Every structure is written in structure tokens, then in C-alpha cells.
Amino acid sequence: MSYIWFMARRLYSQGRGKRASRAAVGIASAGVALGIAIMVISISVVLGFKSEVQNKVVGIGSHVQILNYQSLYSAEAQPIVVSDSLVTALNRIPGVTHVQRFCLKTGMLKTDDVFQGVAFRGIDEGYDLTFLKDHLVEGDIDRPFSETENTGRLIVSQQLARQLRLSIGSRVYAYFFGRTLRARRFTVAAIYATHMEQYDSRLVFCDYKTVHQLLGFEPDQSSGAEVSIADMDCLPLVSQQVARVVKPCQDRYGSYYTSPNIKEVYPHIFAWLDLLDLNVIVILVLMIAVAGFTTVSGLLIIILERTRFIGIMKAMGCSNRSLRHLFINYAVLVIGKGLLFGNLLGIGFCLLQQQFGLVHLDASTYYVDVVPIQLSWPGVLLINAVTFLISTLALILPSFLVSRIQPAKSIRFE
């Protein structure tokens, strides 16, 4: 162990007994701890929020949709053939985890005194219900929906259930408009809640066969298909590969395919999520600046208080460079203490929020009812490393104050 490091540790332990040093060390450590805690919490909240909202958007709309090109310019989804061979070709694309057909038709749910326009999504046995199960409020959806029969079961959102005063087992009539008015009776089997009003206010789920019959499609036609992928970061590449499979083709009825991905369907949501990254960058810069400023201020106070000590060390032959290193090492101990307590505070809050959901939000505004947390350990390590590096580098300039202290005058300093 070098004598510089040994002396720095001795000064650090002795300095806690001096009033000025104790205050300077406390303020500097608190500044670093506060900065680290806020940075860890901020990045965890933003990552959690982005992940939660993104998962909800994708859970309803999938990563990539296969549609009739005319559906992009029509109020109603136009039919397109989603053959077994096309599904097989899509499943062979690297990164694709699931492909499922769906039918979609607008209609109206009506009770004795309330009615609401909604979109009926017809799903079958192959539909992935994981997302709906994760956001299920009441009821049971373990029994699959059917492509070959009309079970009459309906999944509605909590928002619609409140508007229409529905509960599990309630019977409700649906009306569909076209050349003729057609009615169907459904029984509420389950209630879900994503807290995303644009979905919850208009989307219900029922049997594929029911919607298919109402649309009057041919047996091999659907409103489209949904393609799910394993990694959102691979979306651009998978979208290109899906486009190569479907866009050059026509189905046997002469309709052209198109394959918009989720970012093209909902650009405003993803643009809003991208703006959150800018907020995080601003917070990180400000907090690192706070940590650096408080550490530099503390170092200056400590150097001024130790003027006599510096003079004695110089009189004994200690160089300015060695003294600068001594006080920088002293400040590194202060930074290390701040990093320790800041991480305990920030990570502790994140773990408590993950486990108990202590802080709640207005779901109608933020799409989630509790503050979501996603701890990124590489991100936490990077924050600590950058804060430590910048705070230490910021100490170099004020450490040169040692060079201006003259032994003859400083030894008499009180």
C-alpha cells in the first residue's frame, strides 16, 4: 500500500472529527448519493414505462400485420387469403415466434338503456391468449375460442363493462350493420383491462367463426394475420423479410398483400416513447453535474482546512504532485461512500416498487396504474462508472490549489 493512499485514509478517518471537514464530507457524499439514486430510479422508471406501454401496444396489435392493401384505405378490413403455406413461410423467418389469423368487424353492443360501438375481433384455437391472460380482471379464458363453431362467449374490457353495466355471465346483444341488420347474443366470459383507452373503449373478442360469418368471407379468407417476434430490436429486419414474402404476391382473388409493422401503425406512440430517452439524458447530465460540483466544493473546503498540514508535508519534502494525489484519493473515498449509499437508496426503492407497487399513477393518463420498474444492471454499472470517472476527473483542477500553499506561511496558519 503506498503511503499516499495510507495518508488519505488516515485523513479521511480523522477528518470526520473536524467540524468543517465533517460538513464538507457529508455534503459531498450526500450530493453523490442523491445523484446516483435519482439516476438509477429515473432510468429504471423510464425503461419500465417504455417496456410496459410497448408490450401493451404489441400485445393488442402484434409486431407485424398481414393485411389486404385496400384495408389501409377502408373503414372495414378487406378480405385476404392467409393460407397454410403462407403461415408456414412466415414461421420460417428467423425471429418469428407465432403467426395467427384474425377477423375484424365493427358493430354495436346494446343493453336495455346503453349502447356502444365496438370492434369485434374473431379469434380461434391458435390465437395466443397470453397477453389477455396477463391483463385479465375477471373470468376465465382457459377454454379456447373456436374457428368451427359459435360458442357465444365474449371478452370485454373493464371500461366497456362499466359503461354497459356488464359482469361475468351477463348476456348482451350485438348489432351489425350492412345490407341488412343482423343481431347476435353473447355471454360475457371474461373482462380484461390494459388501461389504454384507445383499445379498451372499442375492442372485444369472440369466436373466429362468428365474425367470419358476419363478414361473409370465403372459407379461406380472413381480415389478416398477426406476426409475433422474439425481440423488438429485430423488428426492422423481420419486417423486411416479411415484406419479401408477401408483397410481391396476390391471393387467388386478386388482392394484394401489405405488411405494416407496429411502429408504422402507431407512430405517435413510439415517437412519444422515444422522447422519454431525451428526458433521461437531461436528468443524467444534471445529476452528474450535481455530484461533480458537490465533490469539488468539498475538496476545496478540505484543502483549505488542511493548510497547515500541507505546509508541514511540503517542509518535510513532499512534492506538490504527491499532495495533489493524496487529496484526490481522499475525495475518491468520499465519492465511494456516496456511490454506496446512492445505490442502496436507488436500487432499494426500485426493488420495493417492483415488489409492492408503492407509487400509483392515474391509469387513464399514463396507461399504467403503478409506476413500472425495469432494473438494468448494465445500466446501473455504467451510471456508477461514468459518475465516478467524471467526479474524479473534476477534482484534478481544484487539487492544484495545493501548489499555491507556501510552507513558511501555512505552518503558522490556524
Which tens digits make up the pLDDT trace of 15-38? Answer: 554 555 677 778 888 888 999 999
193 Cβ contact partners less than 8 Å away, ≥ 6 residues apart: 135, 137, 157, 158, 159, 200
**Highest mean pLDDT pick, 67-76, 77-86, 140-149, 247-256:** 77-86
271 Cβ contact partners less than 8 Å away, ≥ 6 residues apart: none
DSSP result, 160-196? HHHHHT--TT-EEEEEE-SSS-EEEEEEEEEEE--S-
More confident residue, 15 or 331: 331
Query: What pTM was estimated for this model as a whole?
Result: 0.83
91 Cβ contact partners less than 8 Å away, ≥ 6 residues apart: 98, 99
pLDDT digits (tens, 9 = 90+) for 155-207: 999 999 999 999 999 999 999 988 888 999 999 999 999 988 888 999 999 99
Q: How far is it, in rounded angstroms, from Cα 286 to Cα 389?
A: 15
Asked if residue 221 has pLDDT above 90, the reply is yes
With a pLDDT cut of 90, the percent of the chain lying above it is 52
pLDDT digits (tens, 9 = 90+) for 258-316: 999 999 998 988 888 888 888 888 888 888 888 888 888 877 777 777 777 777 777 77
Domain boundaries, the chain: 3-56+269-410, 64-260
Asked if residue 369 has pLDDT above 90, the reply is no
pLDDT digits (tens, 9 = 90+) for 202-216: 999 999 999 999 999
Q: 10: pLDDT confidence band, cut at 50, 70 and 90?
A: confident
Neighbours of 201 (CB within 10 A): 14
Asked if residue 363 has pLDDT above 60, the reply is yes
Q: How far is it, in rounded angstroms, from Cα 226 to Cα 64?
A: 6
Task: Judge whether 39 and 280 are in contact, CB under 8 Å.
Answer: no
Neighbours of 378 (CB within 10 A): 7
